[in-house]
Amino acid sequence: MSLSTHQGTGVPHSDADPFALDVLADPLAMHGELRDAGPVVYLDRYDVHAMARYEQVHASLRDWQRFESSSGVGFPNFRHEKPWWTPSILLEADPPRHDAPYRVLKDVLSPRSLRRLRDRWSADGHQIVDELLTGASGGTVDLDAVPSLAEAFPLRVFPDEVGIPREGRENLLPYGDHQFNALGPPGEIRDRHAARAEELLAWVMAQTAREVLTDDGFGAMVWAAADRGEILPEHAPMLVRALLSAGLDTTISGIAAILYAFATHPDQWRRLREDPALIRVAFDEAVRWESPVQTFFRVATSDVRIEGALVPEGHKILMFLGSANRDPRRWSTPEHPDPDAFDITREPSGHVGFGMGVHQCVGQHVARLEAESLITALLPRVERLELVATPRRHLNNTLRMWESLPIRLHLA
C-alpha cells in the first residue's frame, strides 16, 4: 500500500490485488487497508479506482447519474470492449431503459406475490430437515452443510418456481458460477468455465422461452407482463435469464453464510431459538457480515471529485460492498463496537449487501423467504451447530462462497 497519490489526482494508490486467490479466500485485511487509505483508492494493477468505505459506496450506488452501470458492472469496460453476451436490461442498464423491466420483476418478486409460496416453502424446509435427521442415532448428525442444506433448499424450490423443466438443471450452478466469475479480470478464475460459457448461456436462454416454462411460475408472470405491454416481448427472455443468473448462487451463499455464522457463534443460535421472530434480522445480519456479493463495478460518467480526489470520466470504479458492510466508521456503535462480530441483536438495515438505489436487489424477498423457510425448520430440531473440520472456500471473482462446511447438528 502506498500513500503517494496517483498522477497528482489526490487519490492514494495501492498495489493490492482484490482478485488474487489468497485475497479472494480472505479479503478482510485488504478491505481494512483500502478503507484506511482514503475514500477513493487507485488500484495500480488493474488501472481502476476503488471505494471501500461505507459512506462512499452507499452514496455512489444511489448516484446512478454519475456512476453508471451500462458500461458494465464487471471488469470489462463496455466503452472500449464489446461484451460477447447481450448485456442485461437490468443489471447492465441505466434509467430510463432499466425502469420498466425493473418494475416488472419488482412486482413478480414482491412480498405480496410471494405470500402464496410461504406454506409450500415452509413444508419444503421441513421435508429437507426431516430427510436429513430421520434415523439419526446418538443425538447428532454430521453433514456437509453446503450440498445438504445451502444448495439443497434453493435448488429444490427456485428452478421450480421460475418454472423451468427438470432436464439440464445440473447446468445452473456452473452457469451462475461463470456469470459471476466473468465480472472479474482475465485469469484462472474467470477462465474456469470459459470453454463451456457459450453452451451454458445457450442452455439458459433455451429455458426462457414461453413454451418451455410452466404457466404459473415467475417466468410465466414475466411473459404475462409482456402480454400486457409493460415490457417489450424481446425483453421477457432477458428477464427470465436475469432470474436464473442472479437468483441461485447468491442465495446459496447467503444460506451457507448464516449456517457458518451460527456454527461459529452458538450464543447467537441460542438467542434465535429463544426468539424465532429474529430470523429476518438474523438473515440480513448474515448478508451484512458475509456479503455474498462482494463487489460490483461502475463507470464515472464525468470527472467526479470525492473529498478532493478526482475520478476521471470513463474510469471503472470497484465498489467493495463487503468492505462497506464492515466499515467501523458506519457499523461501530457503543452497543455493538465490533463490525466483524455476527450479532443478531444489531440493527443491520442500511447494509449494502443487497445493493442500494435503482439497482437494489429485486430478489431480496425471495432470498429472505428461502432462508427463513429453511432455518425455521431447523430451529426446533437442532440445539446447536458445531463446525467439526476446517471449512473450505469456493473462490469466485464476485461472490463469497463456501465449497464445504462440515457441521455436526446436535439434536434437540
Binding site for ligand HEM (CB under 6 A): 61, 69, 73, 90-91, 98, 102, 105, 109, 242-243, 246-247, 250-251, 254, 287, 292-293, 296, 321, 353-355, 359, 361-363, 366-367
Considering the complex, what minimum distance in angstroms separates the CB of residue 208 from ligand HEM?
13
Nearer to ligand HEM, 141 or 324 (CB): 324
Nearer to ligand HEM, 318 or 366 (CB): 366
Nearer to ligand HEM, 268 or 291 (CB): 291
Considering the complex, what minimum distance in angstroms separates the CB of residue 218 from ligand HEM?
7
Considering the complex, what minimum distance in angstroms separates the CB of residue 4 from ligand HEM?
31
Structural element, H or E, at residue 43: strand 41-43
3-state secondary structure of 67: strand
Considering the complex, what minimum distance in angstroms separates the CB of residue 237 from ligand HEM?
14
Considering the complex, what minimum distance in angstroms separates the CB of residue 293 from ligand HEM?
4
Q: Residue 179 is which amino acid?
A: Q
Give yes or no for a cis peptide into 111 (omega within 30° of 0): no
| Cα–Cα distance measured from residue 368 to residue 251, given in angstroms and rounded to the nearest whole number | 9
Residue whose beta carbon is closest to ligand HEM = 363
| Cα–Cα distance measured from residue 20 to residue 5, given in angstroms and rounded to the nearest whole number | 23
Considering the complex, what minimum distance in angstroms separates the CB of residue 1 from ligand HEM?
26
Nearer to ligand HEM, 113 or 404 (CB): 113
Pairing of strands 41-43, 13-14: parallel
| Cα–Cα distance measured from residue 360 to residue 102, given in angstroms and rounded to the nearest whole number | 10
Nearer to ligand HEM, 19 or 297 (CB): 297
User: Among candidates 222, 281, 292, which has minimal Cα distance to 257?
Assistant: 292
Nearer to ligand HEM, 242 or 259 (CB): 242
Identify each DSSP E strand in 248-381 by its residue range: 295-300, 304-306, 309-311, 316-320
Q: How far is CA 219 from the centre of its chain?
A: 21
